């Protein structure tokens, strides 16, 4: 699979490709995509041009393409929720779409789904079913099937889905993606067709936790026009370096015929132990009990309320299996809802007791996959199996991240999910990024920043083993890479002055006049970076340094006065070379 990331896409622009050229290439790939099941509608080229005409290069998602599930309003495209007769033309885009476009992202189309977001299979649609990119005989996962497949096939680096029962996580598992199910209400659902209004989340599919984190930071905004919106924390929670994670007893894990997936789950648990975790067995029964309430309890009534008038007016327009599920929502009484709420409160109490033993939980995302033929034969029972480990999360108010965890029998993707209390979204993504690197999926590069971190280029006394390196160490700095600048720099000697020793000054010069200069990239937390920069004495300062790989990072640069009459050290290749020669 083509692991297209936001960072990789940004490097297209660093390499000199123009915005219109890059967008045209994406548009043509989507236009010519042979899998007719991925999209319900595609943005016209004029629609793309209208979006890129108003974005600026300094925007965080400048020129990053994405697609959205067709139950999320996008101005200029119809919203169908995979029901052609339900289709309407939205006057304005959903809040989440607007925030992404204001950050510079460009929407290229609306993707297929299980009709009215009711299902985890990805085949309950009147349109062609999106093909599972790994084996077309198997389901792609739903309800956000088209959004997941679009990212898995490398058409866009991220997409939006929705998640009520697991629709942002099951497709992630089947398409070998990251699936972020944020804390309920952190991403506004204004402009999203209701499935279960009190439980719905907008979800994010990406090829890296870093990308999911970036999309979350852009879109997690309080929406005063949305009754279910919640304010994200001003300072996000983090996990400790040494953490505890919960696992079920081996006898409690169920894979419904895919028993070999147990080895994949164990492998993921071992990886988290290697990252500093201690596994602790917990009782998963409260979680699984809550999961059954979602479809066996009165929450199905929310699905009925969401499309009640349309369903009564045009029942024939709704697929039979979808109609069978949603129509059950007309039956429960108010008393049934209160009784279910009491049961849910008890499950939450018991689940909280288990969560207090650990920092997060690790479960399979879904027990297994099924073939298209198997789901056609038993559409409701098999769909329920897929939600075994997902259905409870919104009911119990957790944040969750689905992660790849190998392939069943070496062929079909399978995954695990880490989840924790509401508000732990970015903490889970940060840990997920470390897990990705551990399994070899997201190797760090000299330009890869962590969450709430800054990369700092140093070229003098702050180098590893040198006199001022302690200033980085005491602020929690860690070495990312030993590398060089681009070949457009000269290195000059700033003489000793007062209490200040001699030090190098890095100066950018014209093309053809410079050399590559030895340097190191260090990683600092943002709060440590601010303190570090405030103590830099002139004529040195902090600016942008162009690296040999074409990426610009924060680093030491010098004022013009630093080079007046100064000795040029460039031929030594760097500060270390100069000091060695000096000996």
Q: What's the distance, Cα to Cα, between the start and end of the chain in Å?
A: 53
Phi and psi, residue 285, nearest 5°: -60, -40
Strands (E), 196-276: 201-206, 243-247
Q: Is the dihedral of CA 169, 214, 7, 202 positive or negative?
A: positive
Q: Is the dihedral of CA 393, 396, 399, 403 positive or negative?
A: negative
Q: Select which of 167, 188, 229, 570 is catalytic.
A: 167
> Which residue, among 288, 241, 281, 247, has the nearest Cα to 265 in the 3D structure?
247
**3-state DSSP call for residue 209?**
helix
Q: Select which of 143, 144, 203, 208 is catalytic.
A: 143
292 is catalytic: no
69 is catalytic: yes
HEC assignment per residue over 279-297: EEECCCHHHHHHHHHHHHC
Phi and psi, residue 323, nearest 5°: -65, -40
Phi and psi, residue 320, nearest 5°: -60, -45
HEC assignment per residue over 448-489: CCCCCEEEEEECCCCCCCCCCCHHHHCCCCEEEEEEEECCCE
**3-state DSSP call for residue 370?**
coil
Tell me whether strands 158-163 and 453-458 are parallel, antiparallel or unpaired.
Answer: unpaired
Which spans in 387-449 are helix H?
Answer: 425-438
Q: Which pair of structure tokens corresponds to residue 358?
A: 């650990």
Count other Cβ atoms within 10 Å, centred on residue 299: 25
Alpha carbons 522 and 446: distance in angstroms, whole number: 9
Which spans in 234-333 are helix H?
Answer: 261-274, 285-296, 300-306, 308-313, 320-327
Upstream peptide bond of 143 is cis (omega within 30 degrees of 0)? yes
411 is catalytic: no
Question: Which residues belong to the active site?
Answer: 69, 143, 167
């Amino acid at each position: 699979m083509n692991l297209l990331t936001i960072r990789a896409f940004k490097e297209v622009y660093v390499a000199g490709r123009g915005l219109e050229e890059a967008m045209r290439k994406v548009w043509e790939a989507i236009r010519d995509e042979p899998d007719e099941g991925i999209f319900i509608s595609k943005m016209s080229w004029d629609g793309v041009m209208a979006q890129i005409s108003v974005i600026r290069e300094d925007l965080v998602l400048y020129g990053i393409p994405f697609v959205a599930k067709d139950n999320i309003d996008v101005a200029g495209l119809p919203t169908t929720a995979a029901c052609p007769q339900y289709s309407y033309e939205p006057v304005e885009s959903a809040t989440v779409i607007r925030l992404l476009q204001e950050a510079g992202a460009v929407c290229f189309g609306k993707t297929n789904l299980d009709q009215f977001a009711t299902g985890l299979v990805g085949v309950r649609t009147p349109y062609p079913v999106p093909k599972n990119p790994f084996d077309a005989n198997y389901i792609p996962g739903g309800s956000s099937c088209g959004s997941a497949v679009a990212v898995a096939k490398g058409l866009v680096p991220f997409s939006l889905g929705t998640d009520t029962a697991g629709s942002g996580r099951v497709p992630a598992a089947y398409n070998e993606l990251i699936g972020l199910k944020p804390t309920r209400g952190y991403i506004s659902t204004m402009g999203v067709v209701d499935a279960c209004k009190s439980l719905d989340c907008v979800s994010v599919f990406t090829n890296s936790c870093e990308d999911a984190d970036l999309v979350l930071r852009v879109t997690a905004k309080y929406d005063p026009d949305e009754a279910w919106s919640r304010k994200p924390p001003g300072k996000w929670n983090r996990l400790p370096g040494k953490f505890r994670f919960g696992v079920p007893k081996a006898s409690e894990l169920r894979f419904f015929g895919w028993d070999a997936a147990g080895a994949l789950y164990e492998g993921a648990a071992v990886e988290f132990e290697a990252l500093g975790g201690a596994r602790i067995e917990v009782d998963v029964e409260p979680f699984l009990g809550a999961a059954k309430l979602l479809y066996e309890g009165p929450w199905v009534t929310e699905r009925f309320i969401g499309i009640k008038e349309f369903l009564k007016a045009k029942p024939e327009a709704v697929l039979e299996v979808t109609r069978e599920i949603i129509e059950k929502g007309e039956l429960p009484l108010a008393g049934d809802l209160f009784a279910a709420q009491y049961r849910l409160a008890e499950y939450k109490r018991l689940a909280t007791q288990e969560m207090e033993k650990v920092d997060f939980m690790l479960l399979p995302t879904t027990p297994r996959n099924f073939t298209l033929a198997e789901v056609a034969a038993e559409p409701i029972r098999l769909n329920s199996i897929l939600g075994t480990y997902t259905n409870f999360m919104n009911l119990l108010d957790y944040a969750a991240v689905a992660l790849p965890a190998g392939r069943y029998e070496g062929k079909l993707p399978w995954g695990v999910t880490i989840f924790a209390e509401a508000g732990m979204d970015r903490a889970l993504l940060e840990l997920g990024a470390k897990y990705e690197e551990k399994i070899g999926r997201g190797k760090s590069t000299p330009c890869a920043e962590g969450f709430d971190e800054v990369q700092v280029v140093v070229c003098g006394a702050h180098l590893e083993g040198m006199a001022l390196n302690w200033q980085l160490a005491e602020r929690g700095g860690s070495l990312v890479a030993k590398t060089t600048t681009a070949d457009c720099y000269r290195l000059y000697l700033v003489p000793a002055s007062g209490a200040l020793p001699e030090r190098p000054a890095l100066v950018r010069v014209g093309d053809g006049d410079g050399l590559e200069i030895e340097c190191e990239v260090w990683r600092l937390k943002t709060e440590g970076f601010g303190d570090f920069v405030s103590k830099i004495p002139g004529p040195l300062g902090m600016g942008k340094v162009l690296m040999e790989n074409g990426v610009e990072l924060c680093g030491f640069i010098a004022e013009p006065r630093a080079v007046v009459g100064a000795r040029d050290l460039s031929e030594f290749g760097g500060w270390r070379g100069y000091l060695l020669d000096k000996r």
